[in-house]
């Protein structure tokens, strides 16, 4: 029987970026409301307590973390654009430190619940902030909570597969472990995302070797996405044999998103969740992107209920809506199959 935890802290609802900003707190609020209203299976709620300054400095620099603390408590110390804070994408906002501390505290708790309490699935939807660099706010993200989840699990001597289905490439996570000897040995990073030719951050190309990357062409539909995701994910999982999966399940690959250009339906999205959930290892699930509040909250609450056993993913239409996107994905799969996936000792062929 699955042992499922849902992490949250209502303090997050006090804060927002800026009125113009596409990352809205409402998507999280609506998600939690839907889970509470519609979920029937058994799960436990946990309050995600803020991490300490020391815990927050495990990856991000101490000076950077202290700056977040200082400018939240004394705005006169805020210097526009220092550490990338004050840009259109990463505006200064009230709660800039408090929210960051909660995010890191949440994923630390998630890893502890996985290892110490043997929870099968731990969800933290406000997390998945995969762009933040070591000492730079970037791509709507101020701290990189997936990196802390990975580090916590590695410290527990767990082998980690990080899989990211956000429409945007997880550049901050890949950068954090670039040239790190644990990468490809105890950690494998896999990302399906819209090609950097069309979408931020403009990286994540298939030839980059810090992660297994599968760029997608605008217009990629359920059939094309799932056909390739299952083949790649199953091969990676079977070869790497992780102890834990961390899944960043951004909902911005949908046809309804205002920033990306992919064409997933809700059924398509849930079938991706189903493929990941069927692997018999413990999992941490993080939210990530999603800029249509209605769809994102529906997708995330449905993903939770799918793992809980309340609902099924449903069948998708197996037709090719966009031949150009299909051919683009087919070419990328052929490249991965030839150069990485079908080689013995997969991890050695990432070098």
Q: Which helix (H) or strand (E) holds 78?
A: none
CA 220 from centre of chain: 19
* Of 243, 254, 238, 262, residue with least CA distance to 328: 262
Q: Three-state DSSP class for 336?
A: helix
Task: Tell me, yes or no, if 131 is annotated catalytic.
Answer: yes
What per-residue string of b and e applies to 200-210 under the rule 16 or more CB within 10 Å gives b? bbebbebebbb
Active-site residue, from 131, 168, 223, 261: 131
Q: Give bridge partners of residue 7 from the DSSP assignment.
A: 46
CA distance 253 to 221: 9
Q: Which residues contact 10 (CB under 8 A, 6 or more apart)?
A: none
Structure tokens at 220: 């990629």
88: which residues sit within 8 A by CB, 6+ positions away? none
Distance from the first to the final alpha carbon of the chain: 39
The residues annotated with a catalytic role in the active site are 131
């Amino acid at each position: 029987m699955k042992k499922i935890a849902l992490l949250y802290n209502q303090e997050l609802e006090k804060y927002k970026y800026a009125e113009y900003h596409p990352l809205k707190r409402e998507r999280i609020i609506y998600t939690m409301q839907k889970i509470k209203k519609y979920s029937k299976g058994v799960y436990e709620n946990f309050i995600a307590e803020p991490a300490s300054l020391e815990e927050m400095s495990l990856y991000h620099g101490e000076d950077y973390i202290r700056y977040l603390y200082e400018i939240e408590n004394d705005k006169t110390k805020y210097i526009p654009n220092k550490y990338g804070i004050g840009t259109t994408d990463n505006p200064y906002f009230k709660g800039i430190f408090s929210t960051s501390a909660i995010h890191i505290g949440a994923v630390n708790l998630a890893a502890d619940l996985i290892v110490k309490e043997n929870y099968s699935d731990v969800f933290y939807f406000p997390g998945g902030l995969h762009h933040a660099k070591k000492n730079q706010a970037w791509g709507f993200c101020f701290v990189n909570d997936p990196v802390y989840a990975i580090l916590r699990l590695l410290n527990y001597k767990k082998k980690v597969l990080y899989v990211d289905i956000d429409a945007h490439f997880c550049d901050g996570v890949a950068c954090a472990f670039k040239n790190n000897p644990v990468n490809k040995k105890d950690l494998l990073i896999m990302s399906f995302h819209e090609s950097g030719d069309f979408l931020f951050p403009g990286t994540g190309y298939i030839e980059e070797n810090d992660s297994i990357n599968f760029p997608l062409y605008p217009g990629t539909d359920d059939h094309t996405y799932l056909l390739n995701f299952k083949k790649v994910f199953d091969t990676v999982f079977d070869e790497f044999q992780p102890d834990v999966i961390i899944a960043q399940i951004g909902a911005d690959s949908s046809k309804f998103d205002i920033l990306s250009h992919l064409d997933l339906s809700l059924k398509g999205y849930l079938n991706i969740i189903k493929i990941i959930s069927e692997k018999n290892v413990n999992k941490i699930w993080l939210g990530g992107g999603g800029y249509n509040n209605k769809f994102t909250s529906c997708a995330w609450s449905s993903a939770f209920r799918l793992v809980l056993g309340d609902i099924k993913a449903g069948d998708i239409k197996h037709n090719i809506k966009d031949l150009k996107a299909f051919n683009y994905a087919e070419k990328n799969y052929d490249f991965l199959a030839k150069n990485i996936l079908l080689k013995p000792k997969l991890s050695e062929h990432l070098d």
